[in-house]
Amino acid sequence: MSVSMSCPWNRASTSLLTLLLMVGPMYPASANDSLDTLDTLQVHGFLSQALVITDENNFFGPSSQDGGSLQFTEIGANVSLRPHRNVLLAAQVLSRRAGGELSDMRPKLDHGVVDYQAFADSTTRLGTQIGRFKNPFGFYNQTRDIAFTRPSILLPQSIYFDRTRSLGLAADGMAIYGEKRLPVGTFRAQIGAGKPQVGDDVARALMLDSRPGELDSDTSFIGQLLYEHGGGRFTAALSAADVNATFQSHQAAWDGGKLRFQPWILSLQYDEERWSLTAEYALRHISLSDFALPGVNFDTTGESWYLQYTRRFHRDWQWLLRYDVLVNDRDDRSGRRFEASGAGPAHSRFARDLTLGLRWYVHPRLLLATEYHYVEGTGWLPSQDNPDSDTQKYWNMLLFQASWRF
């Protein structure tokens, strides 16, 4: 296959693979051990393309115009290598566009870690990850970018926000994990500290993107405790985080502003051979503070939850039914006080989404999916797709997606 060396994807993938191959020889090994190390090398990738059609409002591009939007594309490549039986090197490069500009497709390091397993036996496992690690957030955050590992084209937007995706996705730092198998079930825990990825999407959602300055991440913390019973038949997890960032500006009136985001998520799932029932509930405390200008600081607690039923039928088909609820402020659930203040429409403060989805695994490497959303409210609607704020309270969305992996 002929490739162009000027392509940013080729440069990113080549550099990542070269880095992992160079790190391997740092560990003393015999000739046979080196051969075994190369045998552990795994390279995988995926490509997903979606069509998004809405009757009102826009989602991931001009979806309400000209037959819909094709601006939802995900391309990824991941590689792993085990230079020592206790050490794993793993990384993934992701090129993603979800509305916005074509430049958003520039490949980025999604995650990249050195994973050292300090202790392992038949019942216990302890280890640490250093680098850019995926945040253990709910059931789906660590695998949210791969269509085959999601239950639907879109994850429940009340918890897995695409509007502010960068904030919860990954952090640069260190995480410690452990697992203990007992007769009553398996317990897993992970605690991490580092700096989260705070992108333009977060500043835009907080209405800071037009202000003179930048939002920079500070040291933050995240953790998850998970319990699994009956070989995965029942799973429960509790996730919590303390995410911090600072808005820096050369103008004294704006300098020193702080962002703090503290979510708690309870996750439950019951899984049978042919069907699964999943529910997650979140409390989200978020605040902006220390800004000198009036009307910028706020302190609110939001609430999110969804109930999801999936049914597998025949051998390669699955359908899904989900009800997803988002409230941005528990003290103003309807958004009426928000609208009365002149800040925006009431329906921008909540969203209720009824989703019906269908997936067909045409081949182990090929997935076709479609889903329909009936939505009341625009609480998770991306502002970049609707810059004039002229949105409708009730709207419908239809998505089609084709995904391939290797």
How far apart are alpha carbons 214 and 206 in whole angstroms? 12
Which residue did the predictor score with more confidence, 348 or 8? 348
Q: What percent of the chain has pLDDT over 70?
A: 90
Residue 2 within any structural domain of the chain:
no
pLDDT digits (tens, 9 = 90+) for 158-192: 999 988 888 888 999 999 999 999 999 999 999 99
The confidence band for 253, taking pLDDT boundaries of 50, 70 and 90, is low
Instruction: Look at residue 406 and tell me whether its pLDDT is greater than 80.
Output: yes
CB atoms within 10 A of CB 143: 11
Query: Is 164 within the bounds of a domain?
Result: yes
Position 29 pLDDT exceeds 80: no
Residue 1 is assigned to a structural domain of this protein? no
Other residues' Cβ atoms within 10 Å of the Cβ of residue 119: 10
pLDDT at 214 over 80: yes
Determine the Cα–Cα distance for residues 150 and 156; give it in Å rounded to an integer: 10
Does residue 3 lie within any of the structural domains? no
Identify the weakest region by mean pLDDT among 62-76, 137-151, 191-205, 225-239: 191-205
Contact between 368 and 402 under an 8 Å Cβ cutoff? The reply is yes
State the average pLDDT for the chain: 88
The per-residue pLDDT for 129 is 97
Residue 346 pLDDT more than 80? Answer: yes
pLDDT at 340 over 70: yes
Specify the pLDDT at position 386.
84
In this predicted structure, the answer to whether residue 27 has a pLDDT above a threshold of 80 is no
pLDDT at 34 over 80: no
Does any domain span residue 399? yes
Q: Quick one: pLDDT at residue 103?
A: 73
Three-state DSSP string of 86-106: CEEEEEEEEEEEECCCHHHHC
CB atoms near residue 322 (< 10 Å): 22
Q: What's the CATH number where 111 sits?
A: 2.40.160.10
- Domain for residue 86, yes or no? yes
Residue 389 CA: distances (Å) to CA of 18, 27, 118, 386:
46, 56, 52, 6
198 CB neighbour count, 10 Å cutoff: 22
Residue 30 lies in a domain: yes
pLDDT at site 254: 67
pLDDT at 280: 98
Residue range of the domain that includes 394: 8-405
- Count of the separate structural domains present in the chain: 1
Q: Specify the pLDDT at position 37.
A: 75
Beta strands in 6-59 (DSSP E): 42-54
Lowest-pLDDT choice from 101-105, 137-141, 221-225, 249-253: 249-253
122-133 pLDDT, tens digit each: 999 999 999 999
